[in-house]
Structure 1
């Protein structure tokens, strides 16, 4: 590495940088060719020469991810040297640096919380990291430690409060999933952050964690729960708090059933696997197209019931309205024709509705849209029953609805149950 180049980086001399590049166009190539090297960018950020560092990043963006012999990238070095202004400027230029891992898989978020307390500057920096890169809270070290584990190990209550508050208030994609995942993440020893807090006899941290969506009876590789460690520490106050939260001794918890390759999945397992597999195999573009077509077919089928062929009998009809089953508002067509119409139109409608439900994305919004689909289906059944010309047609209509639901359910069960499907294929030559 050129001594002149390192001197320019140390003093932040951008003019000297370009003079060296003009003299040797490959002046920075050496830094970019080695996987581990102390680069001019490391030197610049270590002393807070922000503008020089940004100039280097513009010329050689890859240097921002290069590790030095100590295992740190330039962003880590700036943070370790407490060059906060430089850290913030680099963060503006490249937000992904927050998740870049250094030695032992440590990220910048881990470095910020790896202290006994959080001062005002680091507090703001922690919030900035989480705002710029929300998923950085899911990153783990080589030992399986999350930022929560590290904060708990150091007794850093301020950092723990910020991290927990972020998890509980976040609205980014899959936030609820990641909240549950991170809170109950186990390190290399199988310890959750609750195990760590109890080991450290940190009652305040334990109380904070128990107010979150954390598994109080999670067991580590030694089959210990948090209660076991509280018992070993003879901390009666800790035990009382844990017992109130429903925590139990690891030896009293029923052993989880071990899943083996030989274990046969149940029929329900097969159905769920089949449905989820079909949803996974469909691309977003295909799903969108199918939803549009299905919505059009469902709308047309529903409209056909509201305006059936031949129309409905009007109030001025000559029929006697005093009959038990009034003809006013009923279809004009004959009963047998109406039954055929119901079967054809109903099949189209019910298959489409079920297809729409299966095509809906998983999660909260998918479940939310399931309610309108159910109400829409009930409305279709209600309308088709009301306009039926006779009680017989109404019963046939309702029976056909039950038949469609049963048939479609049976179809899913058969397709998802491989052994049963194979048996049917053996019995029926036409299915081979």
Structure 2
């Protein structure tokens, strides 16, 4: 029956729909209670079958709230196709669907604006104006989407209906305003509109300190660039950078602004360089790096905690199985008795067992600390905090290595090949030394970064004082 209903939705066959519902009155309810990649309403809406859509929403208006496998509602699909009448029918059922975001963080208004469906966009804005202020992924507004997709008319509509000074000058995750995007894409008409009809800040700086004018070359052989520069300079636009960038550098930066966090959220961009030679690192790559580190630390910490727990409850040499004299023989027991369930190593090698227990417990607690910090929900999104977690992980790994070394030392008979024991000991200490060298290197690196940060902070504090008139 579900298959037949899908076929009817593809054809827009209202008569077949009614026949199926007469055979099974609960047919539409199954698409609400069950899990389906998409509902017949999604299919009919995407194909623009108005009568079929009206019949479904009249019988089961709840289906308008159902999402497909991409978290898209029927209104999302209609917004992409531009079917105005179908959109009106869905809006009458539930206008709040304008606020629902799909898997890419876009609501129906975002999609309609990107596609340039002005009539439909106007209906959506009238239904829920504040839906236009919902940010997409990477902190971009619907105005960013209009500029990226070169939809000037949609931009004008939104500026007229829902925009204000703060919204027009809103920055995305890379600190770029819509003016940065328009200049990077050389959209002359869009720039002229923003200058003449909005309160856009032409001197706003992005994350890397560039104003819109910095994105244009000084040697303006390109007539379009020259026209844009003249328009910006009439608005008293300034360059934030004293040293002008070369043409290849400008092209790289403009390309980065237009590609960053758009349509390819997982794409790895080639590192660009600023005028001072430093790399412009995409914020997405930083987040990905931290996320990979978090996952690796969680996995390794879980394995170490499991190993330490197993070694703690089942120590080397095992536990006594009965009560009796301690030692390997009655003459070695020295009058001491052991108890069933207690560690054999604790009786025969008390000092070695103590060292083993110290190292094993240290590794166990360090691993648990990492797991607890990672699942605590704390905002561990800074490299400094990730460095702290890595230090704790080094402590855990080193402690487990020392526990292994102690176990090997106390479990190996004295008459065994001493050279083998020596080699194992040397290898273990070399490895621990390597860990300490890595720890020292990262410590020096973080100290240098901290000094640079404090130096910049002092310069920022001193500069306003020095420029203050006496």
Q: TM-score under structure 1 normalisation?
A: 0.49
* TM-score under structure 2 length normalisation: 0.45
> Larger relative contact order (C-alpha < 8 A, sep ≥ 6)?
1
